[in-house]
Amino acid sequence: MSDYLSMSALHHQPLGKSIALRFALAWICFATISGVLSAQDITAEKVDGIKVGYLIDMPMPLTSNGAADLMAQLGRLAQSANDDSRLTVVLRYHDSTDSLGRTPFEDALRLARAITGPDLRRIRVVSWVEGTVNGHLTLPILASDLLVVAPTAVIADATKDESAADETIEVSYRSVAARRGLFPPEVVSALVDPGLELAKVAKIDGGEVFATGNDLDKLRSTGQITSESIWSSANVPLRIDANQLRSSRIAAGIVGSKEKVAELLDLASLNPIDHSTKSGEPKGVLLEMVGSITDSRSRRWQSNLRGTIEAGDINTWVIAIDSPGGSLGQSVTLADWFANPDPPLHTVAGFIQAEARGDAALFAVACRPLFMSPSGRLGGPGAEAIDSAAVMQNDELIEEIARNAKRPAALIRGLLDPSLEVYRYTSRKTGRVRYATEEDLIRGVEDPVAERERWQRGELIELAEGLSASEAIAFGLAEGESPSVDDVSRRAGLTGTPPLVTDRGMIRWVESLGRNHALAFFLLFIGFAALSTEANAPGLGLPGFVAIVCFGMYFWIKFLAGTAEWLELLAFAIGLICIAIEVFVIPGFGVFGIGGLALTVLGVVLMSQTFVIPRNVYQIEVLTHSIWAAIASAFGLIAGFVLFRTMMPHIPVLSGLAMETPDSAAVNEAEKLADYSHLYGQTGITTTPLRPSGKAKFGDAIVQVISDGTAVGGGERVRVSEVHGTRVVVEGLDEVADERAPEATES
């Protein structure tokens, strides 16, 4: 029996079977009228040999969101189709007027490739054109298995929305059309290039062909044409009406109703599927995934996104990505979310603003559709050095993510693990292209030798440094380029940039400050300068407070940015304490000073990165930048000493924070008024600690003294080693005096 039964065949069936068939048809009609028919029901649509088809209205204009929703619907239909016959799906095209907006080329090409791809091989896609269709919405028509038209149908000017001729677009149109052979190549060229003249000519040998441009001129000049019909003149956009499409056998027939379409296709009925009732009006939120991936930030993002699902009215996420990665485990979790969204969510659109390095590439490619800025980068060395063992440990999850997002799994693994060698393989029999490693090629097959013979190995895909936007699109890891989040949102079906997910605005603001390297350097520089000033000013005052505030803000910003933890703060704080001990307690510059400076620089460096020891090129670059930033900011110690000591005595408000440089003449005059030369060699007891200056008691006299560089505590015995006018230098004695020690005697 033929695969396609007409309705009249029902009358020739036995009585019992006829009743069963009528009952089945009545059930189908009831389901159609009630609007409850869905893709999940289609396994029951073929009853006792009756063929039914499905009617889907083409979104106009075709947006990224509409294309993704339509491809998902077609995918579900394909999965439910029987192996012994192809399921017929009719895509109905209404008028694509200018008021509806333009269809982006990338979205139309994505749908056309899906229609001609292997995943939908169980579906026969029929395009039904009822009105005028122009622009890139014509591309899926070229990809269809069959074309039927209404009497008012017109297909025209495929590139009307393009400002200039683009060879890439013409090549794509030719490639898609060649897969089906529905439209002659000359007609396709004229659709894409309005500058071509297209004619249908009758030749001397009796054949009829289409000819354009130089080929047409050649036929005319050689006199091989007996008659010709001009379809479009040069520089006039091509418009093909229903009669032309039918007479040239591009269209299978001219029909004016759904019932006539079903009859022409030899279907018992054509049941509409309203995919809009499944997804609803697009309503979305925006999540900005900027900076390093850490556990705390990932949990906060997931909590915010989970809230949008629980609210029940959000069905679209727009993910703006600019991240070097940082945690493979968290990225796998996020990728699983994005590749397999829970209802009512149906679209997760991604946009790589600048980069998605390292493990960030995983959740980026899990978004579908994914757009990239023209200068964007996908993959490459990131904040976490990922080894082969980590990739193998998550291999099953990566495979599942790739399958749900319909991405090449081998390319995703190659982006994460640069040591993998991924090749382009082409089937020797069908020409199908596959990206795989040599291990992937023979995994799970019974005859590895025969499997290798089936595929011709092509070039090695270079993934170690990541992929540019054009490369990612060519490999099927991204859907297209986009200049902004607003453009991506509109291509996802939204009216514009959606609101940000629920989050604390203060944290977003602080994290944006943390990504400002100039501000971080400024805070460190001012902090070190203020610390230097405090070391040279009497007591603890405003400079010390400024230093604490600057260092505290620096740590807070880096902590919320995801690059600073408590270990970094501990190293930084201990370093500052050691420097303070060296300055205020132990004269000179020794172990505490050098060690404190090293710990301070280490703390600053670690606060600027998520790793300790660099393991890839990106981490080496980050480490180098962090070290130079720390060293440069440490020059604030010198700048603070010079500038503040020079300028502060002359600023009225700040003059009390610094002691003026003493007048040498006045000092000499003062030294003449007192003579302590008689104290030379005498021993006494310190009444205050010498740090390095203080006071000591010699007999009944208490004198201002200074130590010779050693630390001397209060109540310790000292001996006068030098006397310069009023400047008395003492040295500590080995034995420590008791609090009740006798009064000093002459030595």
In degrees and rounded to multiples of 5, residue 701 shows phi and psi of -95, 135
CB 692 within 8 A of CB 587: yes
Nearest to 618 by CA among 353, 357, 355, 417: 357
- Cα separation of 692 and 149, whole Å? 100
Please state the length of the chain: 747
pLDDT at 135 over 50: yes
* Mean pLDDT, residues 164-174: 83
pLDDT at 616 over 60: yes
CB 422 within 8 A of CB 452: no
Rounded to 5 degrees, what angle do the CA atoms 198, 199, 202 make?
155
In this structure, what DSSP letter does residue 641 have? Answer: I
Query: Which residues does residue 239 pair with via DSSP β-bridges, in sequence order?
Result: 156
Could you write out the DSSP letters of every residue in 365-413? HHSBSEEE-TT-EESSS-SS---HHHHHHTHHHHHHHHHHHT--HHHHH
* Residue 218: Cβ-neighbour burial (10 angstroms; 0-12, 13-18, 19+): exposed
Tens digits of per-residue pLDDT, 294-310? 887 888 888 888 888 87
In degrees and rounded to multiples of 5, residue 211 shows phi and psi of -145, 145
**CA 68 to chain centroid:** 19
Q: Which of 18-22, 267-271, 741-745 has the lowest mean pLDDT?
A: 18-22
Residues 299-308: contacts with CB under 8 Å, at least 24 apart: 300/503, 301/334, 302/333, 302/334, 302/337, 304/501, 304/502, 304/503, 305/337, 305/501, 307/501, 307/502, 308/345, 308/501, 308/502
Return the amino acid letter for 526. I
Q: What is the pLDDT of residue 508?
A: 61
Query: Which residues does residue 378 pair with via DSSP β-bridges, in sequence order?
Result: 356, 467
- Cα separation of 260 and 253, whole Å? 10
pLDDT at 586 over 80: no
- Cα separation of 563 and 400, whole Å? 30
**CA 5 to chain centroid:** 51
The listed range with the strongest mean pLDDT (35-39, 50-54, 73-77) is 73-77
How far apart are the two ends of the chain, measured CA to CA in Å? 132
Could you write out the DSSP letters of every residue in 1-32? --SS--GGGGGGS-HHHHHHHHHHHHHHHHHH
* Mean pLDDT, residues 596-616: 72
298: tokens are: 């990932």
Q: What is the pLDDT of residue 366?
A: 93
Residues 45-51: contacts with CB under 8 Å, at least 24 apart: 45/271, 46/82, 46/85, 47/20, 47/21, 48/17, 48/20, 48/21, 48/24, 49/1, 49/5, 50/5, 50/21, 50/24, 50/25, 50/268, 51/3, 51/4, 51/5, 51/85, 51/88, 51/266, 51/267, 51/268
At a CB cut-off of 8 Å and minimum separation 6, what does 10 contact?
18, 21, 22
Q: What is the pLDDT of residue 688?
A: 85
Determine which helix (DSSP H) or strand (DSSP E) holds 67, and give its type and residue range: helix 64-80
Q: Are strands 198-203 and 225-232 parallel, antiparallel or unpaired?
A: antiparallel
Q: What is the pLDDT of residue 598?
A: 77
Given the structure tokens 């799994």, which residue do they identify? Answer: 409
Q: Using 50, 70 and 90 to split pLDDT, how confident is the model at 644?
A: low
Whether pTM > 0.75 for this model: the answer is no
Return the amino acid letter for 369. P
Tens digits of per-residue pLDDT, 377-406? 998 888 787 888 888 888 888 998 988 888
Q: What three-state secondary structure class fits 332?
A: helix
Radius of gyration from C-alpha coordinates of the chain: 40
Nearest to 191 by CA among 147, 123, 119, 142: 142
Determine which helix (DSSP H) or strand (DSSP E) holds 284, and give its type and residue range: strand 284-290
Convert 665-691 into a string of H (helix), E (strand) and C (coil).
Answer: HHHHHHHHCCCCHHHCCCEEEECCCEC
CB 298 within 8 A of CB 327: yes
Tens digits of per-residue pLDDT, 522-554? 777 777 777 776 666 545 567 777 777 887 777
pLDDT at 728 over 80: yes
At a CB cut-off of 8 Å and minimum separation 6, what does 254 contact?
148, 149, 150, 151, 153, 242, 243, 246
Bond into 369 cis (ω within 30): yes
- Cα separation of 271 and 261, whole Å? 11
Nearest to 47 by CA among 69, 12, 23: 23
More confident residue, 673 or 191: 191
Given the structure tokens 């030749």, which residue do they identify? Answer: 203
Q: What is the pLDDT of residue 477?
A: 92
Query: Which residues does residue 426 pair with via DSSP β-bridges, in sequence order?
Result: 433, 456
* Mean pLDDT, residues 328-334: 91
pLDDT at 40 over 60: no
Tens digits of per-residue pLDDT, 555-569? 777 776 666 667 777
pLDDT at 75 over 60: yes
Tens digits of per-residue pLDDT, 272-288? 765 443 445 678 899 98
CB 636 within 8 A of CB 526: yes
76-104 core/surface letters (b: 16 or more CB in 10 A; e: else): ebbebbeeeebbbbbbbbbbbeeeeebbb
Query: Which residues does residue 272 pair with via DSSP β-bridges, in sequence order?
Result: 55
Nearest to 67 by CA among 334, 279, 251: 279
pLDDT at 506 over 70: no
Q: What distances in angstroms separate CA 213 from CA 202, 204, 218, one per listed residue?
A: 16, 20, 9
Return the amino acid letter for 67. A
Q: Give residue 284's region: left, alpha or beta (phi > 0; psi -120 to 50).
A: beta
Q: Using 50, 70 and 90 to split pLDDT, how confident is the model at 443?
A: confident
Q: Using 50, 70 and 90 to split pLDDT, how confident is the model at 292?
A: confident
Q: Using 50, 70 and 90 to split pLDDT, how confident is the model at 625?
A: confident
Convert 404-461 into a string of H (helix), E (strand) and C (coil).
Answer: HHCCCHHHHHHHHCCCCCEEEEEECCCCCEEEECHHHHHCCCCCHHHHHHHEEEEEEE
607: tokens are: 């606060």
* Mean pLDDT, residues 573-595: 70
More confident residue, 682 or 531: 682
Could you write out the DSSP letters of every residue in 92-160? EE----GGG-PPPHHHHHHHHHHHTSGGGTTEEEEEEE-SEEEGGGHHHHHT-SEEEE-TT-EEE-TTT
479: tokens are: 């859907």
Q: Are strands 370-372 and 717-724 parallel, antiparallel or unpaired?
A: unpaired
Bond into 61 cis (ω within 30): yes
- Cα separation of 505 and 507, whole Å? 5
* Mean pLDDT, residues 465-477: 90
CB 261 within 8 A of CB 270: yes
Describe the strand order of the beta sheet including 433-436 as a list of residue ranges. Answer: 433-436, 422-427, 455-461
